Amino acid sequence: MNIKDNLLKIAEKAEKELNEIFMDIDNTAFFNTSKVLSAFKTHRVTDAHFAGTTGYGYNDMGRDTLDKVYAAVFAAEAALVRTGFVSGTHAIAAALFAILNPGDTLLSLVGMPYDTIQTVIGVSGNEHGSLKHYGINFDFVDIDSSGRADLAEIKAKLSKLRPAAVLIQRSKGYSSRETLNIAEIESLCELVKKISPNTVVFVDNCYGEFTEEREPTEVGADIMAGSLIKNPGGGLATTGGYIVGKEELITKAGSRLTAPGIGAEGGASLGQNRLFYQGFFMAPHTTAQALKTAHLAAAIAEKTGFKTHPGSQSKRSDIIQCIELGAPDKIIKFCKGIQSGSPVDSFISPVPYLMPGYEDEVIMAAGTFIQGASIELSADAPMREPYSVFLQGALTYEAGKLGILNAFNEILEDEE
């Protein structure tokens, strides 16, 4: 890799400035590893759990025990951790259908949800099977001008609508708002329960797992969901998603995932159990690698004149780093750099295209072992103003660092 000398010097300086933050990240990983380890001990995880089932998948001990392990780590009553979830979007959709009935209203508390969730809701269009298709209403409270939750407006809408459920998306996704930290999620949960006690609080936890010491279900969320090819899969889970929360809601989500009557009791694990366990065991550490890579990318971006969200010194509650590159050609070059710095498909050049579920053209760099896994170093950018790239993941900090150096190397060539 032909990294320019001045870029290497910038990276060295950036790392020195991040020393304390890196120590904090290691401490969080240590704490979260102890949570995971004690759940493994409590539920007596053993070799036999790694064997999978076929066919109907009844009595899959490994699968059922893993549900209990997830529930314990996230301090929830029950969990569904399944190969049958295609992705995070699918798990979130199953959770939303578990908590909403025709005629109900879903209220998003922090602006428009993530692009693929908009399709699930039926924000635009009315796809067969969307919430809208089943007569479920949707409303949202926009974020305030500083990019944070608009508490006054949330209070007003909660009192007026008394929605059956609220959606709180922890991570900013592809928007320019701030990611919610756990303390903010805690305040939002308290606010909802105070004004409208029967409203179910759902949290889209994608990208947030293990970035802090507490999770949304520990601070008042009734149910939350996420993707196994992000943080909790630890880079080893081959596919899947999870939902954790109140038992009654998880049972309903099981009916939606499989079929009423089968619920959580069916669904073959097809030999994936060991990878799910091992991935969950690795997840606090892997998340720490991704967090450090995000901080380093922000620090290098700031030193080379780009705006960052969040800033390199800001504490995180997700693994996403947004860098405002300002021009479509810079986005393409940056993504090319990430791709060519990856272990898999390093010879491919990513190009923008229209993906199912997304509103604008998107470019994605992902030279990953698991297709599309964004706990592995990857960069995505919707091709729209202000031309920001969203960077996330890294299975190891070393490879993450090399990947971002390669990306900045591409961009900085412009300016000389």
Ligand X SMILES: *Cc1c(COP(=O)(O)O)cnc(C)c1O
Residues 6 or more apart whose Cβ sits within 8 Å of residue 197: none
**From the CB of 143, what's the least distance to ligand X, in Å?**
14
Going from the C-alpha of 264 to that of each of 7, 58, 280, 319, the distances in angstroms are 51, 9, 20, 30
**From the CB of 167, what's the least distance to ligand X, in Å?**
10
Instruction: Give the Cβ contact number of residue 109 at 10 Å.
Output: 25
**From the CB of 89, what's the least distance to ligand X, in Å?**
3
Q: Residue 37 or residue 355: which is nearer to ligand X going by CB?
A: 355
**From the CB of 414, what's the least distance to ligand X, in Å?**
29
**From the CB of 144, what's the least distance to ligand X, in Å?**
20
For residues 1 and 253, the answer to whether their CB atoms sit within 8 Å is no
Going from the C-alpha of 81 to that of each of 86, 112, 171, 241, 286, the distances in angstroms are 11, 27, 21, 6, 19
Q: Residue 300 or residue 389: which is nearer to ligand X going by CB?
A: 389
* Cβ-proximal residue to ligand X, closest one: 88
**From the CB of 367, what's the least distance to ligand X, in Å?**
17
What is the separation of C-alpha 57 from the centre of its chain, rounded to a whole number of angstroms? 28
| Residue type at position 137 | N
For residues 376 and 393, the answer to whether their CB atoms sit within 8 Å is yes
Q: Residue 173 or residue 350: which is nearer to ligand X going by CB?
A: 173
**From the CB of 169, what's the least distance to ligand X, in Å?**
5
Q: Residue 207 or residue 280: which is nearer to ligand X going by CB?
A: 207
Going from the C-alpha of 285 to that of each of 56, 242, 395, the distances in angstroms are 34, 19, 9
**From the CB of 117, what's the least distance to ligand X, in Å?**
6
Q: Residue 87 or residue 317: which is nearer to ligand X going by CB?
A: 87
By CB under 6 A, name the binding residues for ligand X. Answer: 87-89, 92, 114, 116-117, 169, 171, 173, 204, 206-207, 227
| Residue type at position 115 | D
**Residues in the chain, total:** 416
Q: Residue 7 or residue 319: which is nearer to ligand X going by CB?
A: 319
The C-alpha atoms of residue 258 and residue 265 are separated, in whole angstroms, by 9
Q: Residue 168 or residue 250: which is nearer to ligand X going by CB?
A: 168
Going by C-alpha positions, the residue among 247, 246, 202 that lies closest to residue 225 is: 202
Q: Residue 69 or residue 167: which is nearer to ligand X going by CB?
A: 167
> What b/e sequence results for 144-177 when a residue is b if at least 16 CB atoms lie within 10 Å of its CB, and e otherwise?
eeeeebbeeebbebbeebebbbbbbbbbbbbbeb
Pairing type for strands 165-169 and 223-227 reads unpaired
Tokens of 338: 């990430």
